[in-house]
Amino acid sequence: MTTAINIGTHMASTTPHKYSVLLPTYNERENLPIITWMLVKAFKDNELDFEIIIIDDASPDGTLEVAKQLQKAFGEDKIVLRPRAGKLGLGTAYVHGIQNATGDFVFIMDADMSHHPKFIPEFIRKQKEGNYDVVTGTRYALGGSVHGWDLRRKLTSRVANFLADTLLTPGVSDLTGSFRLYKKDALAAMIRATKSKGYVFQMEMMVRARQMNFNIGEVPITFVDRVFGESKLGPDEIVGYLKGLWALFLDI
Ligand SMILES: Nc1nc2c(ncn2[C@@H]2O[C@H](COP(=O)(O)OP(=O)(O)OP(=O)(O)O)[C@@H](O)[C@H]2O)c(=O)[nH]1
Ligand SMILES: *[C@@H]1O[C@H](CO)[C@@H](O)[C@H](O)[C@H]1NC(C)=O
Ligand SMILES: [Mg+2]
């Protein structure tokens, strides 16, 4: 009996998991080295196999040149470059990046330091705990929080979340956030089912995940405002979000 249990535990603990991180960048020249260094450290400290896939959309600030330097420093097996010729948006950046993901798990996160790599082990622990298909970081439950945003920005995010939760009811406390860990096959299936582009993309993925009966776990994260660079959230983004949300509501 004991032997059988030991063998089982041993096999489970030595399954060679690999984590691919999809890092879309647009004008993140200053943030990219810091986030990359911290990610490498988080994975190495925890003895995890990983790769970081940088999807840069021809950033005018020279982010791609910085990414090439990082590739030299950390190695081509650790830093994979998947640049595109123009700013084609976030949704398609993920689709583009996942084509080169060799891990059985995929992290999606922002490159501007709003999503701190120190949470990586917690996502992984949570995933194992419930064998979840998706683990989503939440700012709005379980003790998660937001720092560095003014009241206007906080309200915008809360209202966006409230609207999405009311219209779509997918039972995820932070729908507009995007720091998540996926089983790669589950992510591929969600992406195939998702039609939206831009800001609504991440939200629709959670709706599709529920429809496909994937198990979703949540971990609290503290979200901090971007370290370097200007926020891109303006009236156009808000109108685009509302239109996208409404289209999604009519579609489900
Ligand atoms: N490849 C690619 N990356 C993008 C694009 N738009 C944004 N990003 C990146 O996607 C991540 C999230 O975008 P952010 O601009 O931080 O969006 P946000 O957090 O809602 O807004 P701010 O941080 O306030 O600007 C960051 O790493 C960006 O550099 C794009 O069109 N293409
Ligand atoms: C990414 O994948 C595509 C399609 O499979 C392949 O053509 C390309 O060479 C890969 N690029 C890198 C950088 O691995
Ligand atoms: Mg940001």
Per-residue pLDDT tens digits for 25-74: 999 999 999 999 999 999 999 999 999 999 999 999 999 999 999 999 99
Q: Where are the domains of the chain?
A: 4-251
Give the tokens for residue 154.
Answer: 């906080």
CATH code of 4-251, in short, is: 3.90.550.10
State the pTM of this model: 0.92
Percentage of the chain lying above the pLDDT 70 cut: 94
Protein residue closest via CA to atom 20 of ligand 1 = 233
Q: Which ligand sits closest to the CA of 97?
A: 2
Tell me if 90 CB under 6 Å of ligand 1. Answer: yes
Protein residue closest via CA to atom 2 of ligand 2 = 100
Per-residue confidence (pLDDT) for residue 13, from 0 to 100? 54
**Rounded CA separation 193/241 (Å):** 19
For residue 5, pLDDT beyond 50: no
Distance 231 CA to ligand 1 centre (A): 9
Atom of ligand 2 nearest to the CA of 81: 13
Atom of ligand 2 nearest to the CA of 99: 2
**Rounded CA separation 97/202 (Å):** 15
| Residue list, ligand 2 pocket, CB within 6 Å | 80, 82, 99-100
Protein residue closest via CA to atom 8 of ligand 2 = 100
Other residues' Cβ atoms within 10 Å of the Cβ of residue 61 = 14
Distance 117 CA to ligand 2 centre (A): 26
Amino acid at residue number 190:
M
Give the number of C-alpha atoms closer than 13 A to the C-alpha of residue 146, restricted to the C-beta side: 18
**Rounded CA separation 222/211 (Å):** 28
Using DSSP, state whether 20 is helix, strand or coil.
strand
Q: Residue with structure tokens 């196999």?
A: 49
Task: Find the angle CA(116)-CA(121)-CA(124) to the nearest 5 degrees.
Answer: 115
Whether 108 and 182 have beta carbons less than 8 Å apart is answered as yes
pLDDT of 157-209, one tens digit each? Answer: 999 999 999 998 888 999 989 999 999 999 999 999 999 887 789 899 999 99
Distance 91 CA to ligand 2 centre (A): 18
Q: Give whole-number Cα distances, 164 to 82, 126, 151, 176, in Å.
A: 31, 25, 20, 8
Give the tokens for residue 80.
Answer: 């994979």
Of the pLDDT bands very low, low, confident and very high (cuts 50, 70, 90), residue 7 is very low
Q: Name the nearest CA neighbour of 52 among 21, 77, 95.
A: 21
Per-residue confidence (pLDDT) for residue 16, from 0 to 100? 84
**Rounded CA separation 35/22 (Å):** 12
For residue 4, pLDDT beyond 90: no
Give the tokens for residue 232.
Answer: 């891109």
Other residues' Cβ atoms within 10 Å of the Cβ of residue 36 = 25
